[in-house]
Amino acid sequence: MSEAIAINATEEQVARAHLAHHFDTPQQQFDAGTLGMWMFLATEMLLFSGLFCAYAVFRATHPEVFRYAGQYLDPVSGLINALILLTSGLTMALAVRFAQTGKRFALSLCLALTMLGGVAFLAIHAKEYFDNGQAKLLWGTHYAPTVGPNGKPIAPVVGLVPLVVKPKPVASAGWQQLNALGKTGFVVSHSDIMPAPTGPSGVATSQKPAAPENPFQPANVQIFFGIYFLMTGLHSLHVIIGIIVIGWLLIRSFRGEFGPGYNAPVVYVGMYWGVVDMVWMFLFPLLYLIH
Amino acid sequence: MTALAGNNYGDTPVVPAKPDNYLTHGKTIRSWLLTLDHKRIGIMYLVVGLLAFFIGGMLAEVIRTQLLVPQGLIFHGTGSVASSYAAYRYYNQVFTLHGIIMVFLVLIPIIPGALGNFALPLLLGAKDVAFPKLNLISFYLYVVGALLAILSTVLGAVDTGWTFYTPFSIQTESYVVVMVLGIFLVGFSSIFTGINFMVTIHKLRPPGMSWFRMPLFLWSIYATSLIQVAATPVVGITFVLLMMERVMGIGIFNPALGGNPVLFQEFFWFYSHPAVYIMILPAMGIVSEIIPVFSRKHIFGYEFIALSSLAIALIGFLVWGHHIFVNGQSAELDAVFSFLTFVVAVPSAIKVWNWLATMYKGAIVLKTPMLYALSFIVLFTIGGLTGVVLGALSEDVVLHDTYFVVGHFHYVMMGGTLIGFIAGLHYWWPKMFGRMYNERIAQITCVVMFIGINLTFFPQLMVGADGMPRRYASYLPMYQPYMIASTIGAYIQLVAFLTMAGYLMHSLFYGKKAPVNPWGGGSLEWETSSPPPHDNFETTPSVGDPYDYSDLVFDAAVNGYVHIEKPEESLVPVTAPH
């Protein structure tokens, strides 16, 4: 990339001015920063990897929960967000290029577009969070939706008596799809893992699991939403940090600080934004496209 | 400002009467607190780390005093079960705090933070680490994390043990969130230090220093950093999840909400087992530096010691399951983890044999750093072999959660990491502060320390094999003789540490001036003055074999070693400034 660009004497001076005392050449400084940034991004991936691992464990042990709860999420908004982030990834990559070639107006424009993409992503995501909150599709004990993914009311649980709901033929496309997948008619097959007791003791009971209170709704759906909010929440936090850092780059770009001689911060932030994009490209199918 | 005879820098007309060094480079408190100089950051790590070590050590003495009598000497009830329960909760808090402080604030950061920061750029012949500002940020993250740990103790001390196992850590009425947030920040400090050191070793090696001409301490720091970078983020997210459990009730680890508590153990040990290699690898690096210098002989098996560090770092990632043998793991996984646990012992053994081979037919000088290095070999070998005992499946079922585990862990951590740290501290002390400590007192202290450590921890191995569980505030009377012996050992250690603090402090003010090269080391830090100048080296040093001592002879006039012209090809030019 940078070797293709001729650096004139003025830019050479700019590069020298940004050289810290313990480095010999600007190239050595840039290489050290790039390596450090890659390592930092590797630790970011490892930070997410814990959540991906939890996702894998719970999806393996509770497949019915993921199949059921995934239907609550709207794949269209997830896809729009994916396209928005991909586009912002392109503008960020262009920004890096324009910083290296010294096109300052184009650089500022691309940075602003990238920020705009991040903000649009967050706006759509906030709308989804708001809807989830309205529908009480939340984690842990906060999970209390009144309607199922098919839009029909969920039968309330009365006391400790299991309320048996006879499966009725449902016409919605989502349910037909679900039925085609499941081999046991309307009842989604549930795992043999003991349901945890509700008491604080944390010790599993020795009884066989009782029949699901609502055949349409498997037990422990709240686990999915716990993982959903953790994964998307951590990702959104990274988007917010990215927007702030790109804003800082934009201010410096207005001041004309970047050019062929000095553009390392733009390159490093570009790498970071690429990773933020990439994480969503994994989160989107894992959460929104479960069936 | 007068010209100094015999210290002629060519065209420099005037040189300061007293050569400027990093300790005197700026005198204000601000010049310390906001310094970007790796040496000063190292000294600050040393001060905070030793302070944390003092607190953790005093808590250890409280634990040992409690266990002098079967019903507990300090915390015990007034007869009723309820009063015993209330009193023993304080004991739980004390051992929890001891564990957290020692593991997260002392063992993990102190060697990379203090000695690594000070020595790494000097060993490389570099002016600083790659990212000096990040280095300072690491230090302050460490300090803030430590302050949060203290805050949580003031608010309501954590009583979960240092492992924070769920679901108890979700239910307990203590300030787990504040404590875990503190450790989370210390973890990021550790990550940034690791990134910094790895990039420094990759990018700031001087011309001529290829990977296999690096001093072995750098190899071990590199392997340590690799673990810090690759394992710490996982514990970071684990602790975030634990905080979310308590703040939001997210339910991932909480069986009451459908979560999986063993998943917490998997995540926790995926970090915390490699973390013990974060602790021990730098100590091994220090020993690898000290043994050849004080044997006046080239290191034996350089490549094997270097690569075994990396082997430990990599295999160390694959053994975490041995903490979960009896917690519901499948028999097949148990067997695999047990096998890998045996495998990870091999590179450590390779190091021990190479150290012994280095000493063989060497001219061994029993100065204090060497005495500590020898103690390390003995104590670490006991600790390592008891680790293999615990890694064997059938034995672990019996020994799990007994004092045998406590004894094993303390042999490795106290006898390994801390003794290695103390060895390094004595080795680099003259370079750090430009003063010599009292050699004879230091040697006696080392012997006392060795006796104290064995008296403390060997009875713990025996009592554990007899079946005494760990973490109990009271015990059966049959175990009392062992417990008394162990407590006496802990008091002996306390005496040794206080003596050490005394003579080291004394040396700062009244110690003899240290020569450039007091021990005859061949690596680059012994080429610069003691203490080094702000920019580390007056002139860029030339790189040679760090373990070649053939051109170093003792000069009684300066009380240190100087270079002589070698008969044939001389790699290192004569740079003795006297």
According to DSSP, the β-strands at B552-555 and B512-513 are: unpaired
Give the pLDDT band (50/70/90) at residue A180.
low
User: B120 with B200: CB under 8 angstroms?
Assistant: yes
User: B316 with B298: CB under 8 angstroms?
Assistant: no
Q: How far apart are the first and last CA of chain B?
A: 20
| CA dihedral sign of residues A190, A192, A193, A195 | positive
Mind giving me the DSSP string for B493-530?
HHHHHHHHHHHHHHHHHHSEEP-S-SS---SGGGGS-S
Q: Is B376 helix (H, G, I), strand (E, B) or coil?
A: helix
Evaluate the omega torsion of the peptide bond into residue B531 and state whether it is cis, within 30 degrees of 0: yes
Residue B504's pLDDT is what? 97
Chain B: closest CA distance from residue A118 (Å):
24
Residue A153: beta bridge partners? A147
CA separation for the pair B498, B65 (Å, rounded): 18
Phi, psi of A58 (to 5 degrees): -70, -30
- What is the interface pTM, i.e. ipTM, of the complex? 0.88
CA B511 from centre of chain: 26
> For residue A224, what is the domain's CATH number?
1.20.120.80
Nearest to A220 among B236, B258, B535 (CB): B258
CA distances from B467 to B134, B146, B289, B463, B546 (A): 48, 35, 40, 6, 49
Contacts of B7 (CB under 8 A, 6+ apart): B15, B19, B577
- Put simply, the answer to whether A196 touches B255 (Cβ < 8 Å) is yes
Residue A204, chain B, CB below 8 Å: the answer is yes
CA angle B190, B191, B195 (to 5 degrees): 120
CA separation for the pair B486, B366 (Å, rounded): 28
Which residues on chain A are in Cβ contact (under 8 Å) with B262? none
| CA dihedral sign of residues B41, B44, B48, B53 | positive
Mind giving me the DSSP string for B321-349?
GGGSTTTT--HHHHHHHHHHHHHHHHHHH
User: B284 with B351: CB under 8 angstroms?
Assistant: yes
The per-residue b/e assignment along A222-236, b for 16 or more CB within 10 angstroms, e otherwise, is bbbbbbbbbbbebbb
Residue A190's pLDDT is what? 47
CA separation for the pair B272, B265 (Å, rounded): 10
Which residues on chain B are in Cβ contact (under 8 Å) with A229? 250
According to DSSP, the β-strands at B560-563 and B552-555 are: antiparallel
Mutation pick from A38, A39, A49, A229 vs chain B, by most beta carbons of B within 10 Å, is A39
Chain B: closest CA distance from residue A29 (Å):
8
User: B113 with B68: CB under 8 angstroms?
Assistant: no
Domain count across chain A: 1
- The pTM (predicted TM-score) of the whole model is 0.87
- What are the domain boundaries of chain B? 29-563
pLDDT tens by residue, B452-462: 999 999 999 99
- Containing B155, the helix (H) or strand (E) segment is helix B132-156
CA separation for the pair B172, B156 (Å, rounded): 11
CA separation for the pair B205, B210 (Å, rounded): 8
Check whether A165 has a pLDDT greater than 50.
no
Tracing tokens 């686990």 back to the chain, one arrives at: A223
CA distances from A34 to A290, B163, B191, B196, B211 (A): 36, 35, 16, 12, 20
Structure tokens at A155: 């039968």
163-202 of A, contacting B, C-beta below 8 A: 195-200, 202
Residue A181's pLDDT is what? 54
What mean pLDDT is predicted for residues A94-118?
A: 95
Check whether A215 has a pLDDT greater than 80.
no
User: B284 with B309: CB under 8 angstroms?
Assistant: yes
pLDDT tens by residue, A218-261: 888 899 999 999 999 999 999 999 999 999 999 999 998 998 98
CA separation for the pair B110, B98 (Å, rounded): 16
How many beta carbons lie within 10 A of that of residue B334, not counting itself? 18
- Put simply, the answer to whether B244 touches A222 (Cβ < 8 Å) is no
Residue B246's pLDDT is what? 92
Residue A227, chain B, CB below 8 Å: the answer is yes
Which residues on chain B are in Cβ contact (under 8 Å) with A33? 131
Which residues in chain B come in under a pLDDT of 70? 1-18, 566-578
Residue B212's pLDDT is what? 93
Give the pLDDT band (50/70/90) at residue A168.
very low
CA separation for the pair B187, B434 (Å, rounded): 32
CA separation for the pair B433, A290 (Å, rounded): 63
Check whether A276 has a pLDDT greater than 70.
yes
CA separation for the pair B23, B32 (Å, rounded): 9
Q: Would you say residue A130 lies in a domain? A: yes
Q: For A86-152, give the secondary structure using H, E and C.
A: HHHHHHHHHHHHHHHHCCHHHHHHHHHHHHHHHHHHHHHHHHHHHHHHHCCCCCHHHCCCCECCCCC
According to DSSP, the β-strands at B435-436 and B512-513 are: antiparallel
Which residues on chain A are in Cβ contact (under 8 Å) with B254? 140, 202
Q: Would you say residue A98 lies in a domain? A: yes
Give the pLDDT band (50/70/90) at residue A13.
confident
The per-residue b/e assignment along B335-357, b for 16 or more CB within 10 angstroms, e otherwise, is eebbebbeebbebbebbbebbeb
CA angle B135, B433, B490 (to 5 degrees): 85
Using alpha carbons, select from A213, A56, A286, A142 the residue that is nearest to residue B250: A142
State the CATH architecture for B29-563: Up-down Bundle (1.20)
Residue A147: beta bridge partners? A153
Nearest to A226 among B251, B256, B263 (CB): B251
Q: Would you say residue A149 lies in a domain? A: yes
Residue B554: beta bridge partners? B561
CA separation for the pair B119, B129 (Å, rounded): 10
Residue A247's pLDDT is what? 97
Mind giving me the DSSP string for B113-131?
IIIIHHHHHHHHT-SS-S-
Nearest to A140 among B240, B249, B255 (CB): B249
User: A196 with A62: CB under 8 angstroms?
Assistant: no
CA separation for the pair A288, A78 (Å, rounded): 7
For residue B50, the one-letter residue type is L
Structure tokens at A25: 């050449």
Using alpha carbons, select from A234, A242, A23, A290 the residue that is nearest to residue A117: A242
Which residues on chain A are in Cβ contact (under 8 Å) with B256? 196-200, 202
Q: Is B435 helix (H, G, I), strand (E, B) or coil?
A: strand
Residue A161's pLDDT is what? 35
Structure tokens at A13: 């001076």
pLDDT tens by residue, A58-85: 999 999 889 888 889 999 999 999 999 9
Residue B578, chain A, CB below 8 Å: the answer is no
Structure tokens at B187: 């973890």
Residue B567's pLDDT is what? 56
Evaluate the omega torsion of the peptide bond into residue A195 and state whether it is cis, within 30 degrees of 0: no
Residue A174's pLDDT is what? 52
Which residues on chain B are in Cβ contact (under 8 Å) with A141? 249, 257
Q: What domain range includes position A152? A: 32-156+213-291
Q: Which stretches of chain A are DSSP H helices?
A: 9-17, 26-61, 63-69, 75-101, 104-134, 173-181, 221-254, 264-288
Q: Which one has a higher pLDDT value, B411 or A201?
A: B411
